[in-house]
Amino acid sequence: LAKTTQPISMDSYEGQEVNITCSHNNIATNDYITWYQQFPSQGPRFIIQGYKTKVTNEVASLFIPADRKSSTLSLPRVSLSDTAVYYCLVGDGDSNYQLIWGAGTKLIIKP
């Protein structure tokens, strides 16, 4: 099975840019890399998804190198409300259906 690795926690300050990296080996060659945000007692909320290079939407950017063995979620100018747990999700390279979750990065934004 594929395996993912994320930092357990990160701290930052309001207005700063935050980058969270997820390392993932043996991921499905035809699948996307997806990041979710989760607040306590809520379901994960989709943030951004990409296949390779760089993807940007209104809330984040996602950088994926050519070898797709990692991905970096970039949150520009964070605010207190960005305090949450962030997960990366990838498809397993050995299975047509198996999804592999990162352990989650608890991001704490300070004023």
The H or E element containing residue 36 is strand 33-38
Among 5, 9, 16, 98, binds other proteins (CB under 8 A): 98
| Residue with smaller CB distance to other proteins, 16 or 98 | 98
32 binds other proteins (CB under 8 A): yes
36 binds other proteins (CB under 8 A): yes
- Ramachandran quadrant class, 81 (left: phi over 0; alpha: psi -120 to 50; beta: rest): alpha
The residues binding other proteins (CB under 8 A) are 28, 30-34, 36, 41-46, 49, 87, 89-91, 95-99, 101-104
